[in-house]
Amino acid sequence: MTFLVRIRLATVIVLLLGLMLAVPAVAQKLGPDGAPNPTASGTSERDLLKQVPRAEGRIDIPDVKAAVLIQPAGRTWDYFHEVLLHWGGAAIILGTIGTLGLAYLVMGRLRITAGRSGQKITRFKAFERVSHWLTAVSFVILGLTGLNITFGKIVLLPVIGPEAFSDISQIAKYVHNFTSFSFVAGLLLIIVIFFRDNIPEKVDLDWIKQGGGFIKGKHAPASRFNPGEKAVYWLSLLAGISVSVSGFVLLFPFYGTNIADMQIAQGVHAVVAVLFVALILGHIYIGTLGMEGAFEAMGSGEVDLNWAKEHHDLWLARKLANEDRQTHASATPAE
Amino acid sequence: MARMKFLCDADRCIDCNACVTACKNENEVPWGINRRRVVTINDGKPGERSVSMACMHCTDAPCAAVCPVSCIYPTEDGIVLHSKDLCIGCGYCFYACPFGAPQYPKVGNFGSRGKMDKCTYCAGGGGAEAPGSAAEYEKYGSDRFGMGKLPLCAEMCSTKSLLAGDGDVIAQIYKERVLKRGYGSGAWGWMTAYHQDIEI
């Protein structure tokens, strides 16, 4: 055996030993068939969704929202819409109706204590009434068509059948979309024209202390709007702006928003709308059935003097003083 | 009854978009509507994967649950169909769908949506039209399923990445592939769609 051959043999042995040692390291990167493992750095769905709420990527089509591959939050939104909203919404709205019914049974219609005087005084001008009724009619239309989207399939669908219900819902959808504009117009008018008289004052605390006129024998002083009415104003302002903004996001789907934004917008819209309906149910009750002489304020615009004395004494006093000054002023002959 | 499912083996998908084209052609899908699309995750980076996605025909389909007119329903084979006669185009199914499957033709100003359109598993429509009729084809596309065939997207996938058929069978095929080649990035969407993962 020559020296050269020995060296060759030693080299082969060293190489073989080296290969044996290297095998486990290589095996980790190769599949059982010897092909390289392309998932060594691969993305798995499970790992990806642990890091991000939804799997997004690149697409070859212009529809950008299609770039979201998987968004498990869809199932969460389904749970919100079908379980939380149905049960919660029904509980709040039926609960409100039940409470108001109970209030009517217990307290009955709140009468004008001193009876009607027969004298009338203007409480709301025509422009104020138009703004109110524009908002009110829009609200009722929006409320009914909105409730139909959420509860229609439970309440109405079994009664009138799928075809008729689908036709009604189709129309209701468009009515809901377009009535939104008149609602927002009315809401903005109301916010502006009633803003000054709804700023909280010191006398409001007194009104609350006196039980807001619900306790017989106690007189609750109030300006043009009492704290109850002010609460309706401010809550309507907040709720109105929330439903309007979220509503327009829904009306313009995916205009600068993504799927999560749309789900949140729908959630806000639905929850606020349910609370808003409950608030306005209370508002409607006290303005019609609940109190004698209240509806006229928004109906003809004129209320009975005794009603004004009982519920808005400070406003009445200021108004009468004002009118007095005006009649005196006009009585002075122009020279 | 077989439970029909889709499975995209992302380790085989080459982002060729033949499934998208096949679907569009087979069902005469209008311009602007994509019942199937291919999304590439980590595009151009290590670990890039492409996944072909359409309606997964979910178990407890969220779209069907949230539909305000209840026009979406599962068939005996687990295929989720809908009636375009009843659909009002509200868009709720898109918010609920984990896979972005529902599509809406633009019918008016702003965000007005027309009747929802989505993958029917090439099984015709969920309306009143006779199966395989021209009226059904016009509205929903092909009824290959009624002729005993699987969706064309999966049938003509050149790398056999996209699988369609009985869920148990395609899960088995995928399992065998992963065992044989030693890797797999998972059955994309299965956990969300079917509350089930393929454990290997």
Residue of B47, B86, B192 with shortest CB distance to A43: B47
**Residue A26, Cβ density class (10 Å: 0-12 exposed, 13-18 middle, ≥19 buried):** exposed
More confident residue, B85 or A329: B85
pLDDT band for position A48 (50/70/90)?
A: confident
pLDDT score, position B38 = 97
Answer whether residue A165 shows pLDDT above 70. Answer: yes
Task: Assess B185–A contact: CB distance below 8 Å, yes or no.
Answer: yes
pLDDT band for position A27 (50/70/90)?
A: very low
CB A312 within 8 Å of CB A265: no
Query: What's the rounded Cα separation, in Å, for the pair A73 and A194?
Result: 42
What does the pLDDT average to over B29-53? 92
- Chain A residues touching residue B97 (CB < 8 angstroms): 74
Task: Assess A181–B contact: CB distance below 8 Å, yes or no.
Answer: no
**Residue A4, Cβ density class (10 Å: 0-12 exposed, 13-18 middle, ≥19 buried):** exposed
CB B54 within 8 Å of CB B35: yes
pLDDT score, position A24 = 44
| Pairing, β A302-304 against β A120-122 | antiparallel
pLDDT score, position A269 = 98
Distance (Å) from the alpha carbon of B61 to chain A's nearest alpha carbon: 9
More confident residue, B111 or B4: B4
What does the pLDDT average to over A238-264? 96
Residue keyed to tokens 């956990």: B191
CB B138 within 8 Å of CB B160: no
Task: Assess A47–B contact: CB distance below 8 Å, yes or no.
Answer: no
CB B126 within 8 Å of CB B73: yes
Answer whether residue A216 shows pLDDT above 80. Answer: no
pLDDT tens digits for range B87-107: 999 999 999 999 999 999 988
Mean pLDDT of chain A: 88
Question: What percentage of residues in chain A have a pLDDT greater than 70?
Answer: 85
Task: Assess B42–A contact: CB distance below 8 Å, yes or no.
Answer: yes
Classified as helix, coil or strand, B103 is strand
Q: For an interface test with B, which of A78, A165, A174, A180 has the most B Cβ atoms less than 10 Å from its Cβ?
A: A78
Answer whether residue A40 shows pLDDT above 70. Answer: no
| Pairing, β B162-166 against β A55-56 | unpaired
Answer whether residue A214 shows pLDDT above 80. Answer: no
* CA A15 centroid distance within chain: 74
Mean pLDDT of chain B: 94
pLDDT band for position B175 (50/70/90)?
A: very high
Answer whether residue A278 shows pLDDT above 50. Answer: yes
Distance (Å) from the alpha carbon of A227 to chain B's nearest alpha carbon: 39
What does the pLDDT average to over A244-248? 96
Contact A32 B71 (CB under 8 A): no
Strands (DSSP E) found in chain A: 55-56, 68-70, 120-122, 302-304
Task: Give every CB contact of residue A177 below 8 A, 6+ residues apart in sequence.
Answer: A251
Question: HSE (CB half, 13 Å, CA atoms) of A204?
Answer: 14
**A244: nearest Cα among A199, A186, A284, A192:** A186
- Interface pTM, i.e. ipTM: 0.94
Q: For an interface test with A, which of B87, B88, B119 has the most A Cβ atoms less than 10 Å from its Cβ?
A: B88
- Chain B residues touching residue A262 (CB < 8 angstroms): 95
pLDDT score, position A23 = 46
**A169: nearest Cα among B89, B112, B80:** B89
Task: Give every CB contact of residue A257 below 8 A, 6+ residues apart in sequence.
Answer: A249, A265
pLDDT score, position B184 = 86
pLDDT band for position B1 (50/70/90)?
A: low
Task: Assess B105–A contact: CB distance below 8 Å, yes or no.
Answer: no
**A55: nearest Cα among A44, A69, A41, A36:** A69
CB A272 within 8 Å of CB A246: yes
Distance (Å) from the alpha carbon of A200 to chain B's nearest alpha carbon: 41
Highest mean pLDDT among A21-25, A289-293, A330-334, B62-66: B62-66
Residue A7 φ/ψ, nearest 5 degrees: -65, -45
What does the pLDDT average to over A124-138? 97
The domains found in chain A, sorted by start residue, are 83-108+119-323 (1.20.950.20)
Q: By CA distance, what is A56's nearest residue in B? A: B41
Q: Cα torsion at A310, A313, A316, A318 (round to 10°)?
A: 180
**A152: nearest Cα among A137, A173, A138:** A173
More confident residue, A78 or A328: A78
pLDDT band for position A15 (50/70/90)?
A: low
**A280: nearest Cα among A239, A311, A223:** A239
CA angle A282, A286, A289 (to 5 degrees): 110
Answer whether residue B124 shows pLDDT above 80. Answer: yes
Q: Which residues pair with A120 in a beta bridge?
A: A304
pLDDT score, position B102 = 97
Q: In chain A, count of helices (H) and strands (E)?
A: 13, 4
Task: Assess A41–B contact: CB distance below 8 Å, yes or no.
Answer: yes
Q: Whole-prediction pTM value?
A: 0.88
Residue B172, H or E segment? helix B167-181
pLDDT tens digits for range B113-122: 899 999 999 9
What does the pLDDT average to over A56-72? 93
What does the pLDDT average to over B176-187? 90
Task: Assess B86–A contact: CB distance below 8 Å, yes or no.
Answer: yes
Contact B188 A45 (CB under 8 A): yes
Task: For residue A149, count other CB atoms closer than 10 A to its CB.
Answer: 18
Q: By CA distance, what is A152's nearest residue in B? A: B68
Question: HSE (CB half, 13 Å, CA atoms) of B8?
Answer: 27
Answer whether residue A30 shows pLDDT above 70. Answer: no
User: Number of residue pairs across A and B with CB atoms under 8 Å?
Assistant: 173
**A154: nearest Cα among B66, B90, B84, B80:** B66
| Residue A243, token pair as written in the block | 């439903």
Answer whether residue A25 shows pLDDT above 50. Answer: no
More confident residue, A26 or A202: A202
Residue A269, H or E segment? helix A259-287
pLDDT score, position B106 = 86
Question: What percentage of residues in chain A have a pLDDT greater than 90?
Answer: 71
**A170: nearest Cα among B30, B62, B114, B127:** B114
CB A207 within 8 Å of CB A229: no
Query: What's the rounded Cα separation, in Å, for the pair A69 and A55?
Result: 5
Answer whether residue A91 shows pLDDT above 60. Answer: yes
Query: What's the rounded Cα separation, in Å, for the pair A198 and A191?
Result: 10
